[in-house]
């Protein structure tokens, strides 16, 4: 893959959990493509080359040396800079991917950027901690959020001015919106993005303000988006009414199709909305990998 300098400034990658680990892979193997990446509850690049090593990285403190971690990224491509900006997010109470992985990710990328392991400064946002590493020009290159009390998921804020998203499985309302903070860190809020106008002028305008910029959808395009969104939501509501979907059934079917042990997931009580039960799913994955199954608590425990 290749990218022009102009295009690279607009390309970012992000992911949660396995997606966070994949974001690490993409940033390390194609650093010339990405201006930045956000890794949420992920793993450092090169920490595993098979399933068992991946689980060991998830559940045990690895404590890799910064130089060794940085060398893995440098060996992943011929690129020698500039390197992508990195935003790291992890909950302090994550039972699925140990928070020490975020420390390894930080050590990996501070080493690649040639920065000190000690942050340039840190700050408290509500009861959460943000650390920032600046380069020699004073520009922030790496940030890391430690979200107090959060388990495994994407941090959301659904009742603040920066409300974004809806709480659900692996989307946790902890009073801080990672989406807003990452966008600011990547300076996406400074861009003014305007959708193409229709040939005939129209008065409808949607504007979503941000700090110093806005996403503006003008004229008939906005009206069309409203119409399309309303139609899609109405159809989706009908689909959910006619075909209630239990995500656990989908996951169990995927395990069975792959020839893996099927998770022993408890049946949801009648009349309740299905929720993902991570314990049996992860236990089945451990069993498939032939390694010791950790204690995840009650078998009927689910993520709300």
Whether residue 17 lies in the annotated active site: yes
- Provide the 3-class DSSP secondary structure of residue 123: strand
In 10 A of CB 226, how many CB atoms? 13
Spatial contact of 112 and 74, defined as CB atoms under 8 Å apart: yes
Burial 186-210 (b: 16+ CB within 10 A, else e): bebbeeeeeeeeeeeeeeeeeeeeb
Residues making up the chain, counted from first to last = 304
- Token pair 């032939």 is found at 290
The catalytically annotated residue of 17, 24, 87, 178 is 17
Label the pairing between strands 85-91 and 121-125: unpaired
- Provide the 3-class DSSP secondary structure of residue 143: strand
d(CA 295, CA 275) in angstroms, rounded, equals 20
- Token pair 């991570």 is found at 278
Residues with a catalytic annotation lie at 17
């Amino acid at each position: 893959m290749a990218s022009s300098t102009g295009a690279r400034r607009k390309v970012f990658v992000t992911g949660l959990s396995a997606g966070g680990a994949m974001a690490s892979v993409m940033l390390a193997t194609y650093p010339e493509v990405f201006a930045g990446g956000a890794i949420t509850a992920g793993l450092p690049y090169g920490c595993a080359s098979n399933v068992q090593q991946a689980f060991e990285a998830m559940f045990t403190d690895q404590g890799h040396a910064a130089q060794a971690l940085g060398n893995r990224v440098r060996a992943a491509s011929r690129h020698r800079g500039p390197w992508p900006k990195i935003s790291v997010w992890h909950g302090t109470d994550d039972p699925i991917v140990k928070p020490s992985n975020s420390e390894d990710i930080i050590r990996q990328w501070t080493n690649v950027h040639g920065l000190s392991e000690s942050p340039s400064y840190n700050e408290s946002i509500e009861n959460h901690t943000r650390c920032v590493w600046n380069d020699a020009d004073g520009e922030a290159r790496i940030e890391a959020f430690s979200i107090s009390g959060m388990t495994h998921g994407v941090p959301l804020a659904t009742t603040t001015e920066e409300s974004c998203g809806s709480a659900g499985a692996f989307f946790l309302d902890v009073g801080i919106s990672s989406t807003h903070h990452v966008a600011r860190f990547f300076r996406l809020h400074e861009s003014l993005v305007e959708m193409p106008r229709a040939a005939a002028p129209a008065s409808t305008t949607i504007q979503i303000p941000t700090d110093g910029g806005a996403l503006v959808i003008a004229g008939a395009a906005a009206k069309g988006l409203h119409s399309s969104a309303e139609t899609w939501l109405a159809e989706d509501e009908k689909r959910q009414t006619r075909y209630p979907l239990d995500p656990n059934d989908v996951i169990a079917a995927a395990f069975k199709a792959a020839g893996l042990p099927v998770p022993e997931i408890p049946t949801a009580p009648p009349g309740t909305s299905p929720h993902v039960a991570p314990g049996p799913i992860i236990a089945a994955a451990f069993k498939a990998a032939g390694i010791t199954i950790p204690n995840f608590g009650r078998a009927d425990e689910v993520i709300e």
